[in-house]
């Protein structure tokens, strides 16, 4: 079970309603039409992809069910290098974007051109660095899906205080709003965004960075009637990467991000 202190901290900071704590989940990613590049769609075959890297990892972390997650065929795993981020415009303005470019200098989508897996780990696209306040996110409706600052009622959005984790998304995943959960998820559908990742390591990582992470737990949360999954993970290279292999290890290692209330 996920620790209550972690549930309170996440739900309070994210201003979300906590649904059901899930310690181990099987994320089945079903290939389907996926929004891409300004509203156009990319269709793939009906092959089913299962996130099995965790089964191979020392953590033995098993995803049992994450019903709203879908991904396209992982064509980008053949890439020789990951796309590189390039900030464009002034931060804290509506024009600011973090664009991604391939090795040939072509603008590409981090959502679709970064592979989901990297060996036995997963790739995480960092949207919001630890200790920052600007609410940055992958723009799913813009061409090439750059990272931009979210807006509400015409104003740039900021958290009330610095967040305590590196926050981002799993590439090539999608929480389908047409798939509705059961009673434990209040009959809610997915939030139409990539699956979120909360990286609980010690080091702030720049927005736009692509880093390898190990999942150690997951939260199902309800935001405005939509299911918003939060995969908890730790970055490869973190001092406690080898010590945290399951959600039960998090409190054992006295992580400040968990004990905050």
In angstroms, rounded to a whole number, what is the distance separating the alpha carbons of residues 112 and 51?
Answer: 16
Q: How far is CA 121 from CA 56, 131, 211, 213, 236, in A?
A: 9, 25, 10, 6, 9
| Helix (H) and strand (E) counts in the chain | 5, 21
In angstroms, rounded to a whole number, what is the distance separating the alpha carbons of residues 158 and 2?
Answer: 27
In angstroms, rounded to a whole number, what is the distance separating the alpha carbons of residues 218 and 37?
Answer: 29
Q: Is 122 a catalytic residue?
A: no
Q: For the CA atoms of the chain, what is the radius of gyration?
A: 17
Q: Which of 101, 122, 158, 159 is catalytic?
A: 159
Backbone angles phi, psi at 102, to 5 degrees: -85, -175
Catalytic residues, by residue number, are 159
């Amino acid at each position: 079970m996920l620790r209550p202190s972690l549930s309170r901290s996440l739900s309070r900071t994210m201003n979300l309603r906590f649904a059901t704590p899930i310690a181990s989940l099987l994320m089945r990613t079903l290939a389907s039409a996926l929004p891409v590049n300004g509203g156009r769609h990319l269709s793939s075959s009906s092959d089913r992809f299962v996130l099995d890297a965790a089964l191979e990892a020392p953590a033995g972390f098993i995803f049992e069910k994450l019903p709203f997650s879908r991904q396209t065929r992982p064509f980008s795993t053949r890439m020789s290098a990951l796309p590189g981020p390039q900030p464009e415009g002034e931060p804290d303005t509506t024009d600011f974007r973090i664009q991604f470019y391939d090795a040939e200098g072509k603008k590409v989508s981090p959502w679709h051109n970064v592979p989901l897996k990297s060996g036995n780990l997963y790739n995480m696209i960092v949207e919001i660095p630890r200790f920052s306040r600007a609410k940055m996110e992958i723009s799913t409706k813009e061409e090439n899906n750059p990272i931009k600052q979210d807006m509400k009622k015409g104003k740039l959005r900021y958290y009330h205080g610095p967040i305590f984790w590196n926050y981002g998304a799993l590439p090539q995943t999608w929480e389908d709003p047409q798939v509705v959960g059961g009673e434990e998820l209040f009959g809610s559908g997915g939030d139409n965004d990539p699956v979120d990742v909360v990286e609980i390591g010690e080091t702030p990582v720049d927005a736009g960075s692509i880093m390898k992470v190990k999942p150690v737990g997951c939260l199902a949360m309800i935001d405005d009637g939509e299911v918003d999954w939060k995969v908890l993970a730790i970055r490869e290279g973190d001092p406690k990467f080898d010590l945290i292999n399951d959600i039960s290890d998090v409190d054992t290692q006295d992580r400040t991000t968990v004990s905050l209330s």
